[in-house]
Amino acid sequence: MKKQLLTPLALGRLNLKNRVVMAPMTRSRAEHGSEAPTALNALYYAQRSSAGLIITEGTQVSRQGQGYAYTPGIYSREQVVGWKQVTQAVHDAGGLIAAQLWHVGRMSHASFQEQGAVPVAPSAIRAQAQVFVSDGMGSGLMAPAEQPREMTLEDIESVKQSFVEASRNAMEAGFDLVEIHGANGYLFDQFLATGTNKRLDAYGGSLENRARFLLETVDALIHVVGADRVGVRLSPWGTISDIQDDEPEAMALFLAHALDQRNIAYLHLAEWEWTGGQAYPEGFRQRMRSAFQKTLIVCGNYDAERGETLLAQGLADAVAMGRPFIANPDLVERIRQEVPLSEANPELFYGGDAKGYTDYPTHPAL
Ligand SMILES: Cc1cc2nc3c(=O)[nH]c(=O)nc-3n(C[C@H](O)[C@H](O)[C@H](O)COP(=O)(O)O)c2cc1C
């Protein structure tokens, strides 16, 4: 059977060799202290470069934006140098790679912040959720997210500026695109959702106001790197990181229209139905498709078959896969040859070394 998943896709100024995207996945294996990517990280991504596009793990744009131990940053020289070896290794292996730019907002902890600083959020509402902090010995433990403070207008400008700097750094480091992490209960999602945004200024209240910070950041990045190098990830109906929203569909469609007008490279939807989240309502995918004409990437427990179905219906242009890429570095080839997939070990998802990271073998029959 001819698989549409394995056909090329023009995305922004890039040509993807197939429509299987590697989903962004935090693996918490950056260098301790500098939070710079290492040669091991470069090997991990290079092994997976048969994906049409790799999206990196969430990468904090500033120290303030970090919420989990050993996640890489993209704000220091050392980090840019570290990323250069990653992008080089992926390009040498024939792949393309986007940097997922991340600010966790309230999903943070004092141990990540500058001395004496507290995490920031649209409103001073604490997440009933846990973050992964360093135990000081190279390992990690879970701790409650900190009480955040409400961002001032200066804070909002300063975070926007961090994203601008980070996207400049990403270009210097050789990335093909940047993806703004607007999903999964982190800073932008905290602004979008009614449960976390109680602001009374131009950044809270109406849909337009709650979307303002994200769209202003998108515009700032378009200015720096060009619309065709910017992607955005959203997770309507997502509830992870204690997010709660009264208007997920209205916001998703509002943003889809606004991003379509801006001609960005792609919109990426993280779906959470597979782990207890609410399913998309009837007709939502069709409404999304009409609102956003450019490349639409879907993600969330997709296998090749489910992915093919959505592509055939025209409801997505590419399918991102996360966990399957952890245990199957040759995932695209396995899909092509229809050989069984290996299962990833969740105990080795975060932190540690090569074990459970770069030691998953390719299929013996390939
Ligand atoms: C270990 C792990 C780390 C993740 N880290 C991120 C992340 O940094 N950024 C993000 O947007 N999503 C992250 N996700 C969510 C994935 O991108 C994806 O949406 C989810 O795993 C569902 O896709 P799958 O069923 O193909 O794994 C992570 C998922 C896993 C399993």
Give the pLDDT of residue 43.
98
Q: Are 238 and 277 in contact (CB under 8 A)?
A: yes
Residue 183 Cβ inside 6 Å of ligand 1? The answer reads yes
- With pLDDT > 90 as the criterion, what percentage of the chain qualifies? 93
On average, the pLDDT of the chain sits at 96
Residue 25 Cβ inside 6 Å of ligand 1? The answer reads yes
Whole-number Å distance between alpha carbons of 181 and 233: 5
CA Rg value for the chain: 19
Give the pLDDT of residue 242.
96
Strand partners, 270: 299
| pLDDT tops 70 at residue 1 | no
Residue 57 Cβ inside 6 Å of ligand 1? The answer reads yes
Nearest to 72 by CA among 53, 47, 100: 100
Structure tokens, 10? 């023009």
Q: pLDDT tens digits for 54-67?
A: 999 999 999 999 99
Write the residue with the smallest CA distance to atom 5 of ligand 1.
Answer: 25
Q: What is the 3-state secondary structure (H, E, C) of 72-117?
A: CECCCHHHHHHHHHHHHHHHHCCCCEEEEEECCCCCCCHHHCCCCC
Give the pLDDT of residue 27.
97
Distance from residue 116's CA to the centre of ligand 1 (Å): 31
Alpha helices in 173-239 (DSSP H): 187-192, 207-225
Give the pLDDT of residue 135.
81
Catalytic residue among 45, 186, 203, 302: 186
Distance from residue 206's CA to the centre of ligand 1 (Å): 29
Strand partners, 140: 134
- Nearest atom in ligand 1 to the alpha carbon of residue 57 is 8
Note if 186 is an active site residue: yes
What domains can be seen in the chain, in order of their start residue? Answer: 8-320 (3.20.20.70)
Give the pLDDT of residue 137.
73
Give the pLDDT of residue 47.
98
Strand partners, 181: 233
> Beta-carbon neighbour count of residue 268 at 10 Å?
28
Sign of the torsion formed by the C-alpha atoms of 8, 9, 13 and 17: negative
Q: pLDDT tens digits for 162-181?
A: 999 999 999 999 999 999 99
Whole-number Å distance between alpha carbons of 144 and 67: 11
> Mean pLDDT over residues 300-313, rounded?
97
| pLDDT tops 70 at residue 82 | yes
Give the pLDDT of residue 365.
83
Whole-number Å distance between alpha carbons of 83 and 249: 36
3 state SS of 310: helix
Distances, alpha carbon 331 to alpha carbons 7, 50, 97, 279, in Å: 15, 8, 16, 27
Residue 43 Cβ inside 6 Å of ligand 1? The answer reads no
Write the residue with the smallest CA distance to atom 30 of ligand 1.
Answer: 25
> Mean pLDDT over residues 71-96, rounded?
98
Whole-number Å distance between alpha carbons of 95 and 97: 7
3 state SS of 180: strand
Strand partners, 237: none
Distance from residue 24's CA to the centre of ligand 1 (Å): 6
Give the pLDDT of residue 271.
97
Whole-number Å distance between alpha carbons of 300 and 229: 23
Sign of the torsion formed by the C-alpha atoms of 191, 194, 198 and 201: positive
Please give the torsion angle defined by the CA atoms of residues 144, 145, 147 and 148, in that order, rounded to the nearest 10 degrees: 170
Give the pLDDT of residue 276.
85
Structure tokens, 101? 């730019």
Nearest to 188 by CA among 133, 151, 224: 151
Give the pLDDT of residue 2.
67
| pLDDT tops 80 at residue 199 | yes
3 state SS of 139: coil
> Beta-carbon neighbour count of residue 244 at 10 Å?
12
